[in-house]
Structure 1
C-alpha cells in the first residue's frame, strides 16, 4: 500500500499433529467449533486496512467505528517480523486479543494481517518463498487471526519481466495454503491494477500469470486502483470500463475480460484525496455511484479502502449507500 492463547495451542495440535493427549473428545469438539466459526466472508467484501498510528489506541478499533466493513487488515507483517498495527496486536494480552476477536466475530468482521507492503521486496531481496510462507502462516495461527493478505509490492522484480516475481508469488501462495487451508483461513492478494493488464511491459504475465497458476487458492483480490497516474481510475468510466491513460486494459471489466473472476475484483481506493495515496482518489458519494453501476453489470465483489481512521463507518456507509445500504 505505502509504507498464544490456550485455544491456539489446542487447535494447532489438532490440525498439525493429529493426535491429542486425553481428554481428546472434548478438545476436538472445541477445535472443530472454532474452525466452523472462522469461515470466509461471502461477497461482497468490504475491506479496510490499518497501518497508521492512532493516539491512545493499541490494536484494532471498536467494531462500532468500522460498522459496514466485514474485513479488517492489520498492517504489516514483514519478513523481519510484525510492524505497526500487526505489532500492536502482539502487544495486547492474550485475553484482550480473545475479547476483540469475539467482538469482531459477533459483528461479522474478519480480522486478518497484511504482509509485505511497500517496505518489503521479497523477491528482489532473495527471501525464500516457501520458508517465508511457513513463518507468516505460523504467525497468523499463533495470534489467532482469520487469514493473510499478500500486499506484494516488489516492483523491481515484477518490472524485470523474467517470471521471477510470478514464480515467487505462486510458490508463496501454494505453501501458505498447506498451512492455512482454504475454507478455514482467508487468503487474499492486493496487486496494483496494471498488473492485471495485457501488456508487453509485463512479459512474465504479472498477475494474469499468478491467477492462472494459483488463482484458485486465492479468495479474492484487493486491487489497488490508485497510485498509478494522475488521471487513472478517477471516474466511474475509467475505473470500471476503459482505463486508458498509462495503463490501458486495467479497469474492472477489462480485468474480468482478461480472464479474472469478476467477483474476485474488489475495488481498492484511498480514503482521502491527499495523505493516503498520491492519486486515484474518488469521493465516497461518487464511488457509491460507480459501485451501483458495477453491480448493475453483474459485479458483486466489494470495496477496499486504505486506510483507517481516514476511512471508517461513515465512509463505507456512503460508499454502500446506493447499491448496498448498510
Structure 2
C-alpha cells in the first residue's frame, strides 16, 4: 500500500470475503454472496514507525484487526521488523492483551515496493518462508506487482494462485487468517485485463482466502470518492469495480497524506458505510494507516452503522517494583504436577503463560496481572486442576 487507507470490508464471494480500502480523512455479477467468516472486521494497517511495534489496546479501541507492515520476500521491514526485534516476553504480553480485547494481530506481506513475480521469486518457496515467520499470526497478502499484472498474460494470476495454495497448506483455515489486499481495478475482469486479474485469482483460490482488503484509492483523483462511485457504480475508467459490483470489502486512506488520491473525510465515509449496511453489507472497515487512524478515527467512521460501545479496558499497571523474594507467599505448592512451581504471591507481576499454585491447585495466567487472586473476579487465571 502506498498510503493510509480505510477499507470497508464485505465478507462474501466464492468462499472468499473481499475488503476495500480508502484513505483516512467484472467480478460483481459472478461473485456469489456467502456467509461471513466472522464479525464485521475493522482493520488498521501500521507501517509508520512507532515504538513497540503494536500500540496499546486503548489506542486502537474500535478496531478488531491490526496489521503490521511489511514482511517482504527478503524478510521483515518497518513495523514487522520492529515486532521481530521485541523480546519473546513482550510479544507474549502484547498478544495476550490483544486476544483479551478481541483484536487479531496480523502481518502484511509484500507491499508496494516488493514485486515478487517480476523479481522471479518462487511462489512456493516464498509462501513457505512467510508461513514460517507468521506461524503465530495471520497474513495479509498486499500484492502490488503492477508490472506483472499489467502484462495480462496470466503470469501474475498463476503466481498468486500457486502462492496462496502453498501458504494455505502451511496455515490451515480455521487456525490462521489469510487475506488479500488488491487494488479495486483488478476486479474489472477481462474488460480491462485479458487474463482476468483478481477475477481469475478469486475463481482459482477464493475459497482459501478469508476476505479481501480492497484498495479504493490511488486510482485517479475522482475515482471512488463518492458513495455512489465507492459502493454501487464505478466510473467507465474502471468499470464494475465498486464495492457492491465486486461484492467485497473496501479501504480508504486515513488522511490526505496517506494516499495520492481517493481520500474521504470521516463524516462522508461514515455515511457511505451506513448506506452500505442498509443495503445488506456486513463486512466492516479497513484503513491505511495507524497512527493517522486510531481509536477516534474508527469511532467516527463506525458512528452511523456499527457504533463502538463501551470503553476500552484500563491500561495495565506499571511493572511491579517488589520482588518475589521480598513478597509473602499466600499458599504453598504441593507435589505432583505442581512440583517446582512457586505459590502465587501478592505484589508480583505475572505475564500470560506464567504458572503458580494457589489453594492446592495449579493456575496459569491468561495475560499480564498483578494482585489478582487466582479464582478471583478479575478472571485472569485459568485453573488447571488440583496439584495432586
Same fold judged by TM-score > 0.5? yes
Deviation at 1:245, TM superposition (A): 4.7
Partner Cα distance (2:199, 2:52) in 1:
38
**8 Å Cα contact 1:232/1:238 also seen in 2:** yes
Corresponding position of 1:130: 124
Gaps of 5+ in 1: 4-39, 257-264
Which whole-Å CA distance do the structure 1 matches of 2:109 and 2:130 have between them? 8
Please give the alpha-carbon distance, in whole angstroms, between the structure 2 residues aligned to 1:313 and 1:199.
40
**Equivalent runs, 1:242-261 vs 2, <5 Å:** 242-256=233-247
Q: What does residue 11 of structure 2 align with?
A: none
For 2:266, the equivalent position in structure 1 comes to: 284
Tell me, yes or no, if structure 1 residue 301 matches structure 2 residue 283: yes
Contact 2:189 2:197 in 1 (8 A): no
Q: Please name the residue that 1:2 is paired with.
A: 2
1:112 aligns with 2:106: yes
Shift of 1:253: 1.1
State the match for 1:180 in structure 2: 171
Q: Which residue of 1 aligns with 2:161?
A: 170
Question: Would the aligned equivalents of 2:164 and 2:205 in 1 still touch at CA under 8 Å?
Answer: yes
Q: Which runs of 5+ in 2 are unaligned?
A: 4-35, 309-388
Residue 40 of structure 2 is aligned to residue 49 of structure 1: no
Q: Distance in 2 between matches of 1:286 and 1:245?
A: 23
Deviations 1:253-292 (A, max 9, x none): 1113xxxxxxxx222000002x210000111111111011
How far the C-alpha of 1:199 sits from its partner, in A, is 4.0
Cα displacement (A) at 1:197: 1.2
2:64 is aligned with 1:70: yes
TM-score by length of 2: 0.70
CA contact (8 A) 1:187 1:220 kept: yes
Runs (4+) of structure 1 exceeding 2 A deviation are 198-201
Two-structure CA RMSD over aligned residues (Å): 1.2
User: 194, 200, 220: which one pairs with 1:229?
Assistant: 220
Which residue, 263, 271, 280 being the options, matches 2:254?
271
Q: Higher helix proportion, which one?
A: 1
Shift of residue 246, structure 1, vs aligned partner: 2.0
Question: Whose RCO is larger (CA < 8 A, sep 6+)?
Answer: 2
Q: What SS is found at the alignment partner of 1:304?
A: strand
User: Please, what TM-score do these two structures have when normalized by structure 1?
Assistant: 0.83
Structure whose alpha-carbon radius of gyration is higher? 2
